[in-house]
Amino acid sequence: MGKYYDNSIIPDFLRRNFNVYDRINKLSIDLGSFEDNVKTLKDSEICTEIFHESGLVYLSGHGYGPGQMYDDKSRITEGQKAAEWIANSMIRRLHWAITCGGEGGDLNDVLYTVKAIGMVVSTDVSFDGAPAVMNGFSRRWQSVFGGGKGEFSKNGLDTSFSGVHARSAIGGFTGRFSIEPEIIVAIPPDLSKEIIKNRGWILPLSPEAYKKITNK
C-alpha cells in the first residue's frame, strides 16, 4: 500500500489488500508519460485537478463519446464504453496529479471516492438511460479502487469498497459527445498538504512549480 495510506484513519476491515497498479495493469489502462500528462498553466483557462488541504481532490469533467444518447440498447452500450474510456483517462490524470511532484504518494494512497457526477447528452425528453450510461464510468472506477460492481468483484463483493461513490447521473444536455463525468476523491490530508507545500494546489502546474520539479 501507499505509505500515507498505511498511516491513515481507514479501519482495518475496510483497508485494501491489493495494489491498485496491479489492477490497472490487468485492465490495460495506459498511464502514459510525465511529459504527456504534466503541463503548465501557460495558456490554460481551467485546471484539471485541485488539491484541498483536507485531502479532497477535485477532478474536472471530460466529455467523450459518439454523440447524444437515446433509449436504445446498442446506443447505451456505446455510451457506457465512452464513460469507461473517460474513467481510464481520469485514473491516468489522477496518477500524475498525485505523483508528479515526488512527494511520495501514488494511487495506492487514495482513501476512498466521494462523489461522481455524470452529465449525459440527450435532447430526448423521454430518455431515462442516463444512470445506465454512467454505470460504465462507475464500474471501471470500482474495478480499480474496489467495489461490488467492479470487474474483480465476486458475487457483488470485493476486498475493498474505496471505489464506491455517491453519484448523480443526469440527462438532457446538448453537445457533440455522449457524457461528461467529474469526480471527487479523498487522499490523506498529510499527503495533500505536502503536495500543496511543494508545488501548489493546482494542475496544470504554475510555471515556477514546473521548473522546481523538473529543473527545466
H/E run at residue 167? strand 166-173
156 contact partners, CB below 8 Å, separation of at least 6: 148, 149
User: 459518439: which residue's cell?
Assistant: 66
Phi first, then psi, for residue 145 (nearest 5°) are: -100, -10
Mean pLDDT in residue range 89-116: 98
5-63 pLDDT, tens digit per residue, is: 999 999 999 999 999 999 999 999 999 999 999 999 998 889 999 999 999 999 999 99
pLDDT of 1 above 80: no
What is the SS3 assignment for 82? helix
The domain ranges of the chain are: 3-39+48-214
pLDDT at 116: 98
Mean pLDDT of the chain: 96
In this structure, the chain runs to a length of: 216
Least reliable range by pLDDT among 40-44, 93-97, 125-129:
40-44
The answer, yes or no, to whether residue 201 has pLDDT greater than 90, is yes
Mean pLDDT across 185-203: 98
Whether the full predicted model's pTM is greater than 0.95, yes or no, is yes
pLDDT in tens, 131-165: 999 999 999 999 999 999 999 999 999 999 999 99
- Pairing type for strands 166-173 and 112-121 reads parallel
pLDDT of residue 128: 95
Query: Could you tell me which CATH number the domain at 3-39+48-214 has?
Result: 3.30.1330.40
Cα dihedral 85, 21, 107, 27, rounded to 10, equals: 10
